[in-house]
Structure formats: structure tokens, C-alpha cells
Structure 1
């Protein structure tokens, strides 16, 4: 019997799960996340293997979902020294790179910025010839001064030849030690947002490398020689090599893993998932088993970007959320005692009234010492609890696209707070092992690949171009680590761009497939 290991590193806990070949949960647990992350991962793996009493050598696949790259951007820590090259002079000089980016981040990332002649029109025609001499001069200036380079060319999702040529020249001068991120491989249409996404991607490559190496070391120290994969934010996996090239795709993989895990545990492909943690509840929508993607530009650490992100509605309500009562006024959160719940909640001997205390006092859950909350006014507690339920119901209503009742799945450590009937839900599921849905989501995931390009489509060439786009997505999926025999198209959209001439159409195709065993 061979096994899969799924690990999800959160701000408070590191969750782990072991699955067998039939995807049955063998064992799961939570351990505290440690400062260096690697120790927490090691502890989780070590405890899992011991308690499940299995041979670590039989773990053939290991999947990691982590918030490390997100945290690096938000906290401005451990970021790479980045050079920013925009190919777009003279057309693209009106707005400088990093426009609108918060000053503290601009001060870290904005020391090497260049705008070079080149770029393309929406139809792929050159605006001007790429100034290769300027690129070569820049490369010599950067030698020894930066860790990575972000290259963005105007309309590169349509024609990326200038980005590819620039990368060739940079690589000739700088060798393999400097990482190069190309915007055509990271973001979508929209120069500034795509450039921002590429810069952020370039800035977290070292963080991704440290996380990947830490995971491999933690596995090795437990005698596990497994094929390693990392979770990305569309609910699928990518290889280590792919992760080190596109670490930005790990951002927001935590809520996504919970959605995928909830889908698996409840056997629902189309549902609303509520992942209740210690501080927040993340509400997302499953469509055909995958998270619904956000259709608007997303801010990350104060930076406006346009790479794909799951459509998640987060509210400040979790197991550690602080309750304040002032006369007739009840305030729920948004602050939380977080990982200090076991010291600060009243049921654990603390003095802070939390949502957990309310649920225990009303007999909704059994945790800590219920005698410590027995003196609380039941009428007041009912009013607080009703307000908590209303907050969740409102969050569910906000993500719905129709008035119909649909299935709702409650997962996460705090999911026991809520009842088995909610307004807007046709049925409420609270599946077994829902507390570690995020780790399960990482362990059961498939590999995916996605392309987004602008094509000039007419009636005559429509089918040919859409088939070409599908093939590009399938190729990307196989490159990311999927079995070439088991890849299929899971989503496709094509939107005519009325503001551009020449039958311009934005085509987006996503493919997914099972892991390649070899």
C-alpha cells in the first residue's frame, strides 16, 4: 500500500493528512506552526507517520500548501532584490513602473527600473524594434546587484517574442544565477497590473526556494523519498520547478485547498464552502469541483495585480473572535484571540468572551470547561449566537449568483460553531475530517495548466484557433507534471474585445490531469 501526504501551513496551525491509494483518510492532525516553518512541517510529518503506524518509505507523493509567499509580500520580509525592465518605449513611458505601489514596497523593489524600446500592438505587430543593445547594457549594470529580473512587454500575451529575446540576452550576460520572470507567463491583459504581478513573482522566488527546500528536508529527515508538489490557487498542483518559476501562483492556496477538500469530503462539485478558522471565515464557490475565479483585478499587499485568484469573501468571524457587549449593543470581532484561544477564552480559564465561549455555553459544542460559562445570561448568548449565524448567512448570500438555495459545506476547525440549517442553503454538510479539509485538498489535487491569449478570430478560423488554444493548455499541464494520457480541458471561455479592431477575442483555457506516476 502506498500513501499520499498532504500538508497545509497556516498562520496558527500546520495541518497534515495521510491518504491511501483509494483516497481514504488514514490519519490527520494539527500541530502549531513554528517560526521557521520547516520545524512545524517536520513535527507534523513525524507525528503523522508515528500515529498512523506506517512506513514512511511508502509515502510516494507529498503535497504542500503554504502561506509563506503571501506573508513575504504582506509583511515585506525576505524579498528578492529585483530589477524591473519594461519593453515599451516610446509608447509605454507615460506611467512609470510601480505606479500606485505603496512607498514601503516601492523602496524595496524600485532601485533598478528601466524602460526599453520595443513592444507590440494588440494584433501582434511591432510598435518598435527591440533595443537589444540597451538590454545588454542593463544586464551588465545589474551583474551582482540583483537576485531576479521582471520583464514586461506591451501586449506580450499576444506576442511574447520581445520578452523571450530580452530573457535570452539577460541569460547570456548573467548566467543561470539570476531568476527571470516574464509577464506573458504570469499575468493577464492589462500592462500595469500584469507588470505588478510579474514584479511580485520575481520578488518571492527566494522565499519559494527556501520553503521548497525546507519541505524536502523535513521529508528527508523523516526517511521519506516522495515526489514533491506544491499547491496553487486554482485548486491544483505544480512541480517544484514550476513553483520556483511561478511562486505567485501559491498565493491564496489555503482557502482554495479548503474548497477542494470540502468538495471531496462532501462529494459536492457545485456548492458554497464556508471555511471557519480561528480569526476569519472564508466563503467561496465551487464550480464543477474547482473554485470560482475572481473576474476583477486583485490587490495583494497593497499592489493591484491581474493574475488569477479564487473569488473568496472573508469575514472577521472565527473560533477565537472576540465578543464585546456594551448595554444593548453587541459587537462581534473583527479581532480575534487567534492561536491564544486556549489561554484567553473563558472556557479555558481566560477572561475574554469569544465565539467559542458562546457556543459552549449554549451547548452547541463541547470544549474546555462549560462550568466556567454557566453563569452567562442565556438570552444575551442567544442574541449573540443569532448575530453570528446571520453574519455567515449574509456572507453566503453575497457569493451567490441566483436566489436559489444551494448546498453549503462547513469545514475548518471552527465549523462546529454553526448549526446544520442556514438560510439560503438547500442542505448544510459538516463532513467528517472537515477540520483538516485544507490538508486533504492539497493531497487530492490534480495538476493543471492554463493559457490566456488574444487571438484574431473569424468564422473561418474559429475552430482551428480554439483547438490550438486547447493544445497549448494541455501542453502547459503536462509541463507542470501531469500524466499526458489523463489530461482534459476543464474550463474554456472566449470573450470578443469590442474595443479592439480585427475580431480580437480573449481566449482562456484551463486543463487538468492526474499526477504522472514516473
Structure 2
């Protein structure tokens, strides 16, 4: 019997969590299993536990949140080699593609980079003719080497015409199977940040495709192949899984956003601090009006600045799997983590690696495993826990004004965070260990649009109308029910040169899942 039941899944570095949430928002079932190297096996097992608890009901929707994409960037694994093309006029090559990238990530991603003539002015008119021959030579020279393409026009936010022309040439030279990312679809206005996001989006194509395949295989294995599947975005809203394979850069912040939204759902609070304690790190963010507060300015992923709307977080190396060992003078805590090997390698499970989970058990904060850590390790573990406490306290102070706000502690290793005298109240909601999966399950489908408008009244009104319509259209394309899509946010930001007398208009739309 198919119902409006939602299955939320959160794939973390240590555990894969799943929950079943009914249309009224009530939690019906939960599961927590170790994450597996192939991802799909862990999803299948978590799904099996949740489905067994709600039989004979069948879910109507499945929502997936994951740190898979951001971990791929941080670890340089599974990334495509990208041909990065920039289209511009005189001066566009003063700082080329990949400027400021960490050397190791650049080596993992760059197949080639070129700046070619072709510029659309801030007013949308052609300022520099498009050099089709140079574009063809660039892509032709990389045939067989480039696994993906990123195309960035300097003024693409005003007109995407040249990007679309370059896309057609890339298809001709490299073949139809090579994924192509266009900066006007990825979004943003600062050239380098928008270009960086477009290149990373292209690099993540295989990672996103692999995650979508893992999810689909898990669903098919349980007879749920026809159930609509969604993936969470950076702001905690959802988009169809197939849509996410085109825009994976919009999923890199989805895991923390899910945890913040899940914390809000589980407690009913709209304004609070949230500490999400996972296997390798603790992410501290702020709930404002029931949604994750966004980071100010650009976001940084793997040492690369991108123009993306992501939760404002302070992350520290404090997680359940964080490795502890004696240094020459003091205890070393992290940043390494044993991840999903916790149940095999941690001291409390009979392994030989000391972790912060062992420290929490030794201090009486957690009850996990089947043995106490050796007495000879107790002093080291006690000092390690003090280091972890100080890191969390520093993160709480750095995340922004929080006095007077309660602290919600969620995540599988939430026991690592003690009660703090600096915080008015510490809440540990029931099912906080699966808050990320809850946040995925209760999300709405979202769409965004960016437009540059002249300051004149007619230009501004026209751009606002276009942005509102495009945001709605993108929300529907991402899987929202067109009858329920609403504009939930609109912002106008004055722009510096070369967009004189212009403003940036950003619109966000959201609505319930279709069906």
C-alpha cells in the first residue's frame, strides 16, 4: 500500500541513517547502520530496517542527504579531469582559471584551461565577437583527455548566449557523453567564484552519478524503483535525484543543512545554536526562523572559493571516530578519523585505536561498545576530551551571537558535547542521532534564480518578474508541485563595477514534493 510516507536517508562518513516520517511529520521508524565503501549496501540495509518497521505501507517518496560530494573534493577521489574555458574580452586572462586553487586539487582536476575571446556586455549586448575557431581548437586539443567541461562567460549572468555557443562546439569536438557545466546554470556573479563552482560542478559529475546509481539500486532491490527520489541541496531544500546529477555543486552543503532542519523539526525551535557531531567532525551552525543561517560572503570548499548559498558553519575535528594518540609533549586529537571502521578499531570494541568515543566512554558520557578502554590509556583520553571540549566551545563562540539561544546537540556522537555553562540550555532531542535523515525527509523542493537588472524602474521590475518566474520554474523542474510553489525569499544587492547602475536580484522558491 503506497502512502504519503517519506523515507529520509543520510549517508555520513561513519553511519548511514534512515527514518520514516508520515505526512503529519511524525517519526515512524529509524535505522542506523555502518556506512559501506560501496555506499549502496549501507543504504539497502538502512532501508530494509525502516521498511520492515512500517510494513505493509510503502513509501511515497525517498529523500537522500549525503556528505559524499564534499568528501570527494576534500579527498580528491573520483573527480573528473576538467577542460575549463573562459570567454571574455581584453583583460579576462589576467588571472586564469584555477587561480588560487590548492596545488593538489588542481592537479587532480585540471585537464586544460584557456581564455578565449567572446564577451557579452553587462547590458546583454555583444561587446567582443565570439571566437568559435579558437574554442574548437581548445576542445579539439583535449579530446581523449578531458572527462568533463566547464564553460564560464565573464558576463554570463547578463546573457548566456556565448556559453551556449561554446557548449555546442564542445559537444561536437568531445562527443555527447562528456558532461558540460555552464556557469549561468550553476549561478553566482563574482567571476572567479562562479568559475570555480562551475569547474567543481563538472569535476563532481561522476561522483554524483555514482551516488544516484547507488540510491536507485537500493530502491530497486526493495521494489521501490518507481518511487520518486530526491536529493538535498545546500540550503536544505530538495531536488530530484536526476537533477542533482547535473548540479552536484548544489549538494555539497546538504548534509549540515539537513541536520539543522532536522534539529528544528525534532525540537520545534526556530532560533537556536546547533552542534552536529558526526564521525569525523562537529559542525556548529545557527537556526534562524527555522532555517539554517547562511554564510556571509563566498563559501570555501577544499580551499576553493565558490559563490554558493550554504549554511554558515564552524567545523572542528571533533567526532566519534577522531583518532587520539600521544604526541611528544601533548595529546594529539585528530584530524584523522577511523570513520565507518569505528565498530572494529575503537578500543571499546576491542580494537587498538584510541578515539574520542573511547574518551567519552571512559568519562561516563557515553555507553557504547562491549569493554572499557584500558586503564593505562585513561589519562591520555581524559586530556583528549578536554581538548575536544575546548574546540567545541571555541566553535560555539565563533559561529556568531548565541547568548540567550539554546544549544541543540544532534548527530551520532552527540555525547561528546557536554552541558556548557556558557549556553542557557542544552537540548538533546529524542532521535537527535538521526537528525540529518529527519531533515532530509521533511524538506521542501527548492529553486533559485539570479538576475542582473538596471537600476531604472522598468529594468528592475522586468528583472524581478523574470527571476520570480525562473525560480518557480526551477523549483518545478526540481520536483515541486506547481500548485504549491511559493516565493520564500527575494534579495536585491547593488553591484560594483563593471555592472555600474545595476543590482543583483536573487529569488528563492519552494514547494511540496510533486504528487
Is the contact made by 1:361 and 1:374 (CA closer than 8 Å) also made in structure 2? Answer: no
Is the contact made by 1:89 and 1:115 (CA closer than 8 Å) also made in structure 2? Answer: no
Instruction: Identify if the C-alpha distance between structure 1 residues 424 and 510 changes in structure 2 by more than 3 Å, giving closer, same or farther.
Output: farther
- Alignment partners' CA distance in 1, 2:187 and 2:245: 16
Once the two structures are superposed, what CA deviation does each residue of 1:130-180 show, in whole Å capped at 9, x if it has no partner? 223444555555556544321111121122222123224444666642322
Greater CA drift, 224-233 or 162-171: 162-171
- Alignment partners' CA distance in 2, 1:77 and 1:337: 17
- Alignment partners' CA distance in 2, 1:231 and 1:45: 18
Correspondence for 1:290: 291
Matches within 5 A, 1:384-399: 388-399=388-399
Correspondence for 1:238: 239
What SS does the corresponding residue of 1:394 show, helix, strand or coil? helix
Correspondence for 2:404: 405
- Alignment partners' CA distance in 2, 1:89 and 1:500: 13
- Alignment partners' CA distance in 2, 1:161 and 1:327: 60
- Alignment partners' CA distance in 1, 2:416 and 2:101: 39
In the alignment, does 2:185 pair up with 1:185? Answer: yes
Greater CA drift, 186-195 or 212-221: 186-195
- Alignment partners' CA distance in 2, 1:366 and 1:70: 31
Matches within 5 A, 1:460-499: 462-499=460-497
In the alignment, does 2:13 pair up with 1:11? Answer: yes
Instruction: Identify if the C-alpha distance between structure 1 residues 368 and 203 changes in structure 2 by more than 3 Å, giving closer, same or farther.
Output: closer
Correspondence for 2:413: 414
Instruction: Identify if the C-alpha distance between structure 1 residues 91 and 346 changes in structure 2 by more than 3 Å, giving closer, same or farther.
Output: closer
Once the two structures are superposed, what CA deviation does each residue of 1:401-427 show, in whole Å capped at 9, x if it has no partner? x363112211001113334x4344333
- Alignment partners' CA distance in 2, 1:320 and 1:500: 48
Greater CA drift, 157-166 or 169-178: 169-178
Cα distance, 1:377 vs structure 2: 7.5
Once the two structures are superposed, what CA deviation does each residue of 1:49-100 show, in whole Å capped at 9, x if it has no partner? 23x15147x2221112223322333333333343222111433122222233
Instruction: Identify if the C-alpha distance between structure 1 residues 217 and 430 changes in structure 2 by more than 3 Å, giving closer, same or farther.
Output: same
Greater CA drift, 368-377 or 436-445: 368-377
Is the contact made by 1:97 and 1:192 (CA closer than 8 Å) also made in structure 2? Answer: yes
What SS does the corresponding residue of 2:91 show, helix, strand or coil? coil
Greater CA drift, 152-161 or 490-499: 490-499
Is the contact made by 1:487 and 1:514 (CA closer than 8 Å) also made in structure 2? Answer: yes
What SS does the corresponding residue of 1:515 show, helix, strand or coil? coil
- Aligned residue pairs: how many? 512
Greater CA drift, 353-362 or 241-250: 353-362
- Alignment partners' CA distance in 1, 2:101 and 2:496: 30
Greater CA drift, 16-25 or 386-395: 386-395
Instruction: Identify if the C-alpha distance between structure 1 residues 464 and 412 changes in structure 2 by more than 3 Å, giving closer, same or farther.
Output: same
Greater CA drift, 143-152 or 351-360: 351-360
Instruction: Identify if the C-alpha distance between structure 1 residues 168 and 10 changes in structure 2 by more than 3 Å, giving closer, same or farther.
Output: same
- Alignment partners' CA distance in 2, 1:499 and 1:431: 49
Is the contact made by 1:118 and 1:128 (CA closer than 8 Å) also made in structure 2? Answer: yes
Is the contact made by 1:361 and 1:370 (CA closer than 8 Å) also made in structure 2? Answer: no
In the alignment, does 2:210 pair up with 1:227? Answer: no
Is the contact made by 2:357 and 2:416 (CA closer than 8 Å) also made in structure 1? Answer: yes
Matches within 5 A, 1:291-310: 291-310=292-311
Cα distance, 1:391 vs structure 2: 3.2
Matches within 5 A, 1:299-338: 299-322=300-323, 332-338=333-339
Cα distance, 1:294 vs structure 2: 2.0
Instruction: Identify if the C-alpha distance between structure 1 residues 371 and 205 changes in structure 2 by more than 3 Å, giving closer, same or farther.
Output: closer
- Alignment partners' CA distance in 2, 1:107 and 1:336: 25
Cα distance, 1:122 vs structure 2: 3.3
- Alignment partners' CA distance in 1, 2:242 and 2:48: 26
What SS does the corresponding residue of 1:360 show, helix, strand or coil? helix
What SS does the corresponding residue of 1:28 show, helix, strand or coil? strand
- Alignment partners' CA distance in 1, 2:329 and 2:76: 41
- Alignment partners' CA distance in 2, 1:501 and 1:249: 26
Matches within 5 A, 1:120-159: 120-138=120-138, 146-159=146-159
Cα distance, 1:198 vs structure 2: 0.8
Cα distance, 1:435 vs structure 2: 0.6
Correspondence for 2:27: 25
Is the contact made by 1:187 and 1:195 (CA closer than 8 Å) also made in structure 2? Answer: no
Greater CA drift, 366-375 or 223-232: 366-375
Structure 1 unaligned regions, length at least 5:
none
- Alignment partners' CA distance in 1, 2:144 and 2:324: 53
- Alignment partners' CA distance in 2, 1:487 and 1:506: 23
- Alignment partners' CA distance in 1, 2:431 and 2:309: 29
Is the contact made by 2:361 and 2:372 (CA closer than 8 Å) also made in structure 1? Answer: no
Matches within 5 A, 1:54-453: 54-55=55-56, 58-138=58-138, 146-171=146-171, 176-224=176-224, 225-322=226-323, 332-350=333-351, 354-368=355-369, 388-400=388-400, 402=401, 404-419=403-418, 421-453=419-451
- Alignment partners' CA distance in 2, 1:288 and 1:336: 34
- Alignment partners' CA distance in 2, 1:384 and 1:14: 27
Cα distance, 1:332 vs structure 2: 4.7
- TM-score normalised by length of structure 2: 0.89
- Alignment partners' CA distance in 2, 1:283 and 1:331: 22
